Amino acid sequence: MTKISHISCVMIVKNAEATLKDVLDALKAFEEVIVYSNNSTDKTESIAASYKNVKLIQGEFLGFGPTKNLAASHATNNWIFSLDADEVVTDSFIDNLAQTKLSKDYVYSILRTNFYKRREIKHCWAADEIIRIYNKEVTAFTDKHVHEHIMQKDLQLGKIAGAIHHYPYTSIEGFIDKANTYSTLFAQNNAGKKSSSPSKAFFNGAYSFIKTYFFKQGFRDGYVGLVIAYSHMVTNFYKYIKLYELNEELKRK
């Protein structure tokens, strides 16, 4: 069986019991998996603790970028594979990663395919390349609270063949919860730094729907395409209307 001892897989989680078992089952090749749990109230922590290769850490959520960097600080390896608690790696990816000689001059990307429940979404969420493997002595995630990414700096980009499967939502409620969470983080992170207005909120939301449903041909994804397009619209509307409110509050202080 393939074993990976020189790379630590690191993830931050909260109430991920719906997907975590599938995620961790696929990571048995890793000798170290860091699971940083942020006040989970479901079975997330008991599931993580049942795996011998998992190091369970409990801590606060500081925003996505800072929390991912904090979680990586608990890894014994310098090479980090950052994974979300709703992403399942394939065997072909594991095999290719184990055979790749990593260089500090590089960060590495992976192909990600996206699903709603078990249905692949090919238009609203087309397969994307995401940078997820890096050396923490050289780089890290940005300190953004949302839409964080690994800083590429002057590093070159390599690719690991294979794929990971992304299962971000298991119900309609997931879209609602994430829209609220992400819009709040966006507003808090940009208050006093970026301007907004009710009209900006409206037109950003409207354009998000049009872009997702028509330009990306989300209608070809069936009813799920409509759900995703509407969710994008709602998220963007609330991002900018919440930002507008926070900016107005700052002006009154």
Task: Quote the pLDDT of residue 153.
Answer: 86
Q: Are 48 and 23 in contact (CB under 8 A)?
A: no
What mean pLDDT is predicted for residues 45-62? Answer: 97
Angstrom distances, CA of residue 98 to CA of 52, 74, 156, 160, 202? 20, 22, 20, 10, 47
Q: Is 80 exceeded by the pLDDT of residue 229?
A: yes
* pLDDT band per the 50, 70, 90 thresholds, residue 36: very high
* pLDDT band per the 50, 70, 90 thresholds, residue 253: confident
Question: What six digits make up the tokens of 179?
Answer: 């829209």
- Report the 3 state secondary structure along the chain: CCCECCEEEEEEECCCCCCHHHHHHCCCCECCEEEEECCCCCCHHHHHHCCCCEEEEECCCCCHHHHHHHHHCCCCCCEEEECCCCEEECHHHHHHHHHCCCCCCEEEEEEEEEEECCEECCCCCCCEEEEEEEECCCCCECCCCCCCCECCCCCEEEEEEEEEEEEEECCHHHHHHHHHHHHHHHHHHHCCCCCCCHHHHHHHHHHHHHHHHHHCCHHHHCHHHHHHHHHHHHHHHHHHHHHHHHHHHHHHC
How many percent of the chain have pLDDT more than 70? 100
Q: How far apart are CA 175 and CA 87, in angstroms?
A: 17
Average pLDDT, the chain: 96
Q: How far apart are CA 144 and CA 126, in angstroms?
A: 24
Task: Quote the pLDDT of residue 96.
Answer: 96
**Which one-letter amino acid corresponds to residue 182?**
Y
Q: Are 158 and 109 in contact (CB under 8 A)?
A: yes
Q: How far apart are CA 109 and CA 194, in angstroms?
A: 30
**CATH class of the domain comprising 7-169:** alpha beta
What mean pLDDT is predicted for residues 147-159? Answer: 95
Provide the whole-model pTM.
Answer: 0.90
Half-sphere exposure of 206 (CA within 13 A, CB side): 6
Q: How far apart are CA 92 and CA 160, in angstroms?
A: 10
pLDDT tens-digit series, residues 110-132: 999 999 998 999 999 999 999 99
Domain with CATH 3.90.550.10 in the chain: 7-169
Angstrom distances, CA of residue 2 to CA of 22, 94, 107, 146? 18, 8, 22, 34
What mean pLDDT is predicted for residues 140-144? Answer: 96
Q: How far apart are CA 70 and CA 233, in angstroms?
A: 32
